Amino acid sequence: MRNWMVSAIAIAVAIVAWDVAVRLSDHTLIPGPVAVVRALGELASTGRLFRYAIASLFRVTWGFTLAIAVGVPIGLALGWWQRGARIVGPVIQFMRPISPLAWIPLAILWFGVGDASAIFLIFIATVLPLMMTAMQAARGVHRVHAMAARNFGLSGVQILRRVVLPSARADLVAGIRVALGIAWLVVVAAEMIAVNSGLGFQIVDARNAGDRYDLVVAGMLTIGLIGLMLDNAIRRAA
């Protein structure tokens, strides 16, 4: 049986189990699949679903792209040149356990309520994991490859670009997929507090607008679906 058929069957079983659980439950606040589909239709018909999804994707794209542009080159360089890693490593290890959400007050103070705050939070949340992944990937490259490249006259930067980066590609792709999931998590949390649009804002707004939990779950499903599509896009591009 093909993989897509197995996935389709699993999704169908999950939906049926969800519907049965809601029907057997005494809690009327829990929406069933039919109610959530209607809520998705409502969001789509008013244009909010597309508008909020685009807003979230915009913030993730900018924040995550900046994190890759900064984190991957620095991580590769630190992983290859051990002396630099010994100098900068303690600072990275100190900052890495700090939750990205702890930066929300400072983000609002520095950038105000808007896109810049969310982009900053996404950058902070993903640049350090990407840096650590790149460092570990660079350390896994065989030194004999670099020695051979040096014998052909390549400089240190050329070795990093033409030897280390291709050799670390598989590990980098895996780290990028993980970091992208983190970025998607953080943008939703940031939109619940620091901005007034996006899928995270939609969830909070639906909860406040008369406890529309069907819209809340519809927003959650949209977040999960887009996250799955982004992960598949990265995997196929690799």
Residue 4 belongs to some domain of the structure: no
24-60 pLDDT, tens digit each? 877 666 788 888 889 889 888 888 889 989 999 999 9
Residue 6 belongs to some domain of the structure: no
Residue 1 pLDDT > 60: no
Instruction: Supply the pLDDT for residue 62.
Output: 92
Residue 14 belongs to some domain of the structure: no
pTM: 0.81
Residue 238 pLDDT > 70: no
Q: Domain range for residue 104?
A: 34-237
Split into its structural domains, the chain has a count of: 1
Mean pLDDT of all residues belonging to the chain = 81
Question: In sequence order, which residues have a C-beta less than 8 Å from that of residue 190 and are 6 or more positions away?
Answer: 59, 104, 107, 117, 118, 121, 122, 200
For residues 4-33, b (16+ Cβ closer than 10 Å) or e, as one string?
A: eeeeeeeeeeeeeebeeebeeeeeeeebbe
Residue 21 belongs to some domain of the structure: no
Instruction: Supply the pLDDT for residue 124.
Output: 92
Q: What is the mean pLDDT of residues 230-234?
A: 83
Which letter does DSSP use for residue 163 in this model? Answer: I
Instruction: Supply the pLDDT for residue 63.
Output: 92
Instruction: Supply the pLDDT for residue 127.
Output: 92
Residue 170 belongs to some domain of the structure: yes
Instruction: Supply the pLDDT for residue 162.
Output: 67
DSSP 3-state of 211: coil
Residue 81 belongs to some domain of the structure: yes
Instruction: Supply the pLDDT for residue 35.
Output: 86
Residue 224 belongs to some domain of the structure: yes
Phi then psi for residue 99, to 5 deg, are -65, 140
Instruction: Supply the pLDDT for residue 220.
Output: 87
Instruction: Supply the pLDDT for residue 66.
Output: 94
51-104 pLDDT, tens digit each? 989 999 999 999 999 999 998 888 888 877 777 667 777 787 788 888 888 888
Report the C-alpha gap between 166 and 157 in whole angstroms: 13
Q: What percent of the chain clears pLDDT 70, i.e. is strictly above it?
A: 84
Name, of 4-18, 115-129, 198-212, the range with top average pLDDT. Answer: 115-129
Question: In sequence order, which residues have a C-beta less than 8 Å from that of residue 213 and are 6 or more positions away?
Answer: 29, 30, 31, 206, 207
Instruction: Supply the pLDDT for residue 16.
Output: 85
Enter the tokens of residue 49.
């679903």
Q: What is the CATH number of the domain that holds 49?
A: 1.10.3720.10
Residue 123 pLDDT > 90: yes
Residue 147 pLDDT > 70: no
Residue 123 belongs to some domain of the structure: yes
